Structure 1
Amino acid sequence: MQVFGRLSQEQIVFGLALLLCVGFAVALPGFLTANNVLNLVRSVSILGILGVAMGLVVIGRGIDLSLVALMAISVAWTLSMIAGGMPLPQAIAIGLAFSLLIGALNGWFVAYVEIPAIFATLAMGTLVYGFGRYFLFDLDVVYMPPAGGPLLWLGQGTVLGVPVPIYLFAGVCLAGHAFLRFSKSGRYLRAVGDNMLAARITGVPTRPTVVMQYVLSSLIGYLAGIITAASVASMNTRVAISTYVYDVILVVVLGGIGLSGGKGGIRNVIVGTLLIGVLLNGMTIMDIQYTVQNVIKGAILLTAIVIDTILNPRDEQTAQQGDI
């Protein structure tokens, strides 16, 4: 994907992030201190992990609007089961299984029922949130019980002075990159995103591959939820009905992963996360109101989608049923 001659969107976004760093460093004393940089990366590590999950789905020419709702409900249920006396490993296993089941259902609706992904996952996110709040627990905020103490290290621990969530973000990025580059399933995923009909003709199991990408999304989302709960010792389920999922999409599209599928990689997610992290950190230090921040993020997302539409025009393949 080329922008302005030989510069790619990824390179331009990285350059903008560096310019923002320089600008904030000049205008805001202490912005480039080691502590602030670590806090900056730590604050967006969960967003970056969710960005990897969304990025894999978008590369496969899909979208997962249920990602944040599923993360919140599955992890909140896990904490609720731990508080009820269930052993920690068993509660995590059940919560993870629930998340994977919903991910598989998302993929089944998209791949086999051929419901457009944007509608299938939007409906599933609403269903999961309502189901969780009515049948699984009745609190907006579920707190980490004492028996869940071992999980706190994942969100609050440090190794060699670096917060653990940063290591986990790096680990998820490396795993995602290795999956896309070296595994047969990763190559299948990219082939399906690039041209589903051509991939089917060449023998790629297209429908199972679509299901797989949503299962992977739910798996990574559950990990992000565990880290979130460990960071603040609770899970606020109201994040499921917030605009957080659009922040995740912003990271993916801004980084340069084309919505038409088959393009981009984990490096694009990292670059998009870096830019949004710098922007959010600078706006927070400048004490810009949250509503104004949403306006700025919305404008950036709209601009990124327009750029993506120009650079990756939709053809007959991207207009087929089941596309986002």
Structure 2
Amino acid sequence: MNANFFGRLGVLRGVKADQQLIVFLLFVALFILFSLTLPSFFGVGNLFTLLRTVSVLGILGLGMAVVVVGRGIDLSMIACLTVPTSVVLMLSGHGHGLAVSLLGGFGMAALVGMLNGLLVAYAEIPSLFATLAVGIGLAGVGQSGLFDYEIVPWPPSLDVIGWLGRGEFHGVPYSVFAFAIATAVVGVFLRRTRFGVFIYAIGDNPSGARIAGISVRPIMMLQYVISAVIAVFAGLVLASSASNMDTRIFNLTWIYDVILVVVLGGIGLSGGRGGALSVIVGTLLMGTIINGMTIMNISFEVQSLIKGVVLLAAIGLDSVINPRNEETAQQGDI
């Protein structure tokens, strides 16, 4: 039974590799098309903007990937990006040391992740609703007087880590290196560690994972803690690049962009499939689409409509490639 279980997992991962190739070819085609038709797309300034945008989006996609591989979803990621990151900036601005400030922000994020995990794994509330409620509540905490202003400035005392979103090395923004490091860490975690293998097993078949002796509920909690911590890392990259953190970001549609990155890259919403490479190809395609629409001066409303259609098409494709059945449709579904 276990051999067949992991055998099916290997076959399905092979199918997803084909989707990754298709998405990568779409990215190359779009990049060439935009370079030829949009005068400012291939400019140095725009490419730097594209790389910085892609970096933050990709880091968030890595956090979402860990949860989706385990057959969940985390709609609280953008709130975790804004509020705990703003806590880091606020604490540092009030004279606290770097270690205390980082501990405060990442600690807050870890607690949020644990709350998500408790609601999903132990209270058995569907992750879609649990993380949405937690995200709204966390955003409310941030907007209810916790910070002096809606836009929290980057304090000079944090400049020691300011390189995360500033500067470049031979023309490549440091934020790209931050994305690369995060990708390597998440990739190794998912593919080379026991906990990563457990997450794939839980995502593929929670009941089978329990029979195999895996502690399903604690591993599910771990997924949400990792997602929240990665969101704060993305927040620090964003805040250092912009020299502030706008807590109103929660009201934007970033969470849908993150889900698009994950689904387009080939991480099945039914769980147990995809990985860090999926996030890379999804991020490249999604970042190019967003950047191209911005250069074409497409209105925000029309952009949202286009992204909605793309997301619907991607989810439809995922349901065809990764159909659910009675054996795998257990607790943990979104």
Give the TM bin, normalised by the shorter chain. Answer: over 0.9
**Count of residue pairs brought into register by the alignment:** 322
Percent identical among aligned pairs is: 47
Deviation at 1:145, TM superposition (A): 2.0
Distance in 2 between the 1:156 and 1:317 partners? 49
Distance in 2 between the 1:255 and 1:147 partners? 38
Matched position secondary structure for 1:261: coil
Deviation at 1:280, TM superposition (A): 1.5
Residue 137 (str. 1) matches residue 152 (str. 2): no
Matched position secondary structure for 2:330: coil
Residue 111 (str. 1) matches residue 121 (str. 2): yes
Matched position secondary structure for 1:156: coil
Distance in 2 between the 1:255 and 1:91 partners? 34
Distance in 2 between the 1:52 and 1:262 partners? 15
Unaligned runs of 5+ in 2: 1-10
Q: For 1:107, give the aligned amino acid.
A: G
- Checking the alignment, whether the CA contact within 8 Å between 2:263 and 2:315 is kept in structure 1 is yes
Structure 1 residues 7 and 322: alpha-carbon distance in aligned structure 2, compared to 1, 3 A threshold: closer
Greater mean alpha carbon deviation, residues 26-35 or residues 99-108: 26-35
Q: For 1:119, give the aligned amino acid.
A: F
Distance in 2 between the 1:206 and 1:322 partners? 10
Question: Out of 234, 238, 259, which is 1:228 matched to?
Answer: 238
Residue 49 (str. 1) matches residue 59 (str. 2): yes
Deviation at 1:47, TM superposition (A): 0.3
Distance in 2 between the 1:222 and 1:6 partners? 29
Q: For 1:24, give the aligned amino acid.
A: F
- Checking the alignment, whether the CA contact within 8 Å between 2:16 and 2:266 is kept in structure 1 is no
TM-score by structure 1 length? 0.94
Distance in 2 between the 1:20 and 1:301 partners? 17
Greater mean alpha carbon deviation, residues 217-226 or residues 145-154: 145-154
**Equivalent residue, structure 2, for 1:262:** 272
**Equivalent residue, structure 2, for 1:85:** 95
- Checking the alignment, whether the CA contact within 8 Å between 1:80 and 1:137 is kept in structure 2 is yes
Distance in 2 between the 1:183 and 1:153 partners? 30
Residue 16 (str. 1) matches residue 20 (str. 2): no
- Checking the alignment, whether the CA contact within 8 Å between 1:69 and 1:241 is kept in structure 2 is no
Cα deviation, 1:61-82, whole Å, max 9, x if unaligned, reads 0000001111100011221122
Distance in 2 between the 1:152 and 1:113 partners? 40
Deviation at 1:281, TM superposition (A): 1.7
- Checking the alignment, whether the CA contact within 8 Å between 2:40 and 2:295 is kept in structure 1 is no
Distance in 1 between the 2:16 and 2:296 partners? 35
Distance in 2 between the 1:150 and 1:177 partners? 27
**Equivalent residue, structure 2, for 1:285:** 295
**Equivalent residue, structure 2, for 1:158:** 168
| Map 1:203-282 → 2, pairs under 5 A | 203-282=213-292
TM-score by structure 2 length? 0.91
Distance in 1 between the 2:49 and 2:253 partners? 22
Question: Out of 309, 316, 320, which is 2:330 matched to?
Answer: 320
Q: For 1:243, give the aligned amino acid.
A: T
Q: For 1:295, give the aligned amino acid.
A: L
Deviation at 1:314, TM superposition (A): 1.8
Greater mean alpha carbon deviation, residues 307-316 or residues 184-193: 307-316
Residue 94 (str. 1) matches residue 130 (str. 2): no
Matched position secondary structure for 2:225: helix
Unaligned runs of 5+ in 1: none
